Copies of this chain bind each other. A is one copy, B any other.
Amino acid sequence: MNGADAIVASLAKNGIDMCFANPGTTELALVDALDRTAGIRSVLGLFEGVCTGAADGYARMLGRPAATLLHLGPGFANGVANLHNARRARSPILNLIGDHATWHLPFDAPLTSDIRSLAMPVSGHYAYLGTAQLCVEDTMRALGASKGGKISTVVIPTDVQEHVFGEQPEVPQLPHPGVATCDGERVEAAARVLRDRKPAIILLGARAMTSSGQKAAAAVAALIGARVFAETFPARWDRGGDTPVIPRFPYFPEMGMATLKDAECVLLVGARAPIAYFGKTGLPSELVRPGTHVETLAGPGDDAEQAIMSLARALGAAPLPPCAVSVPPLPEHGHRLDASVMAQTVAALMPGRAIVAVEGATTTPVFFTAAAAARPHTVLTNTGGAIGQGMPVATGAALACPDRPVLSLQGDGSAAYTIQALWTQAREGLNVVTILCANKSYGVLRVELGRAGMNPDAPVPHRMTSLDDPALDWVGLARGFGVPAARAHTAGDLAGLVRTALSQGGPFLIEAVMS
């Protein structure tokens, strides 16, 4: 048994069952150990951002970390953008990175770099495993941190991986981590604030976004006449079915401020206090106006579901009658596709228990409205704003929940960043149907140029925000990666393709040509 075996065995014994890998020469002993160790599935990505995004999707669905296996500093750096998103989603992930042998590091070989400096901005826990004798202990500490909700990054030199143990190191069993629960005082304080300061806005986020959490929030709101909103970019949001319809807090700061304008208090339940996504001259960063009372019932890392349920009980808020499913009608077949027609078609056809990964700043938000009362489903959004998140997260979610259909609503601009995810979907035969919304532009940048008083059609802004010269052939690209694909121009095309893709299983990409 060598260091790599010991590390991998410790992970397998402590609940790691998935490794999203893009290994290189410095990770080969770990690859070999993964071969000798039962219980961990190794899934290859052609690009590291696919691996880290998939680990994010996996964690969001199962609430526990997968491992990634990445190659030195540059390989890790390719995964940073989706780790940034994962950090914002509070997804636990355990990154394993191979490194040069400890004795080789001082020679500054070509692939040497400062991995720690690259890792710290996205890692809640970092460890350099410089000593074979401590490698299991250090790995378990990192896994423990990860199970507690963090991204842990562990750098393992090749000599530590290859170190042969005289005696097999003991593999500890980690205790199950708890989640901070909400104490009675906070519940009482929240109840007091809601009674005293009306009207109130309840802002839900993180763990409060379960069906139970939203039902409790809706009951509280009905009792005291408050309004409930969901944070703008939830990591995981259970919706539809009998879950109450709760709107998203607006993205644009002007609209957020208008929403909050009349509130006497804002109760935070798993969400942070609303701030502007980007600072805009003339508008404040904090959208809650001065004087409005902000009360935190539960922070993003707390058990916000339990907190809001406790609050409902404390207030004596009776459960509301369950919401009825109200699937929107299919748009007329001949309709040209736009964002609304796309969203309505998907909402109409989406089967119960679907997972929907949503990325695409101008083409996909309307889905939240269209599907608000559709069959029960779980939405995963882009939590950190680093685009190229949707397809990898959909990939990881499909691996986490093989019995649930996954829909990936994807803007074309963002899809181009991590398009390699399609290959992993093909290779693993995942039930992911991608609706690729091809509006041939970075639409949100064109909107933001306009908002800032700049002309999106001036030559350089136009050239930097348009994707039509040449247009990407998404059907060809998907097929090139091994995913069957077809193009939809009308609502009828799209409905037919969504039906077929869902019924046949496996991955499929539909290029929804937006007019």
**Chain A: residues with CB nearer than 8 A to chain B?**
21, 23-26, 28-29, 31-32, 34-35, 42, 44, 46-47, 49, 73-75, 77-78, 80-81, 84-85, 88, 100-101, 103-104, 106-111, 113-115, 117-118, 120-122, 158-159, 162, 233, 275-279, 281, 285-286, 383-386, 388, 413, 416-417, 419-420, 423, 426-427, 444-445, 448-449, 452, 454, 458-461, 463-464, 467, 469-477, 479-482
A268 to B460 alpha-carbon distance, docked (Å): 46
Which residues on the B side are within 8 Å of A472 (C-beta)?
Answer: 423, 480-482
When the two chains form the complex, which single residue of B31, B159, B459 contacts A460, counting CB atoms closer than 8 Å? B31
| Chain B proximity of A373: nearest CB distance (Å) | 28
Specify the chain B residue showing the minimal Cβ separation from A26: B278
Between A and B, 5 residue pairs with Cβ closer than 8 Å are A31-B449, A107-B276, A109-B275, A111-B385, A477-B481
Known: A417-B78, A444-B25, A476-B477. Is A32-B458 also a contact (CB below 8 A)?
yes
| Chain B proximity of A266: nearest CB distance (Å) | 16
For the complex of A and B, list the 6 residue pairs with the smallest distance between their C-beta atoms, beginning with the closest: A104-B279, A470-B482, A74-B386, A477-B480, A476-B480, A101-B279
Please tell me how many copies of the chain the complex holds.
2
Q: Are B470 and A423 in contact (CB under 8 A)?
A: yes
Q: Are B113 and A46 in contact (CB under 8 A)?
A: no
Q: Are A479 and B476 in contact (CB under 8 A)?
A: yes
When the two chains form the complex, which single residue of B75, B279, B420 contacts A386, counting CB atoms closer than 8 Å? B75
Specify the chain B residue showing the minimal Cβ separation from A158: B279
| Chain B proximity of A283: nearest CB distance (Å) | 10
Q: Are A452 and B28 in contact (CB under 8 A)?
A: yes
A115 to B25 alpha-carbon distance, docked (Å): 28
A277 to B355 alpha-carbon distance, docked (Å): 44
| Chain B proximity of A329: nearest CB distance (Å) | 34
A388 to B50 alpha-carbon distance, docked (Å): 15
When the two chains form the complex, which single residue of B31, B35, B85, B420 contacts A416, counting CB atoms closer than 8 Å? B420
Q: Are B279 and A100 in contact (CB under 8 A)?
A: yes
A114 to B73 alpha-carbon distance, docked (Å): 16
A388 to B481 alpha-carbon distance, docked (Å): 17
When the two chains form the complex, which single residue of B28, B427, B454 contacts A32, counting CB atoms closer than 8 Å? B454
A85 to B476 alpha-carbon distance, docked (Å): 31
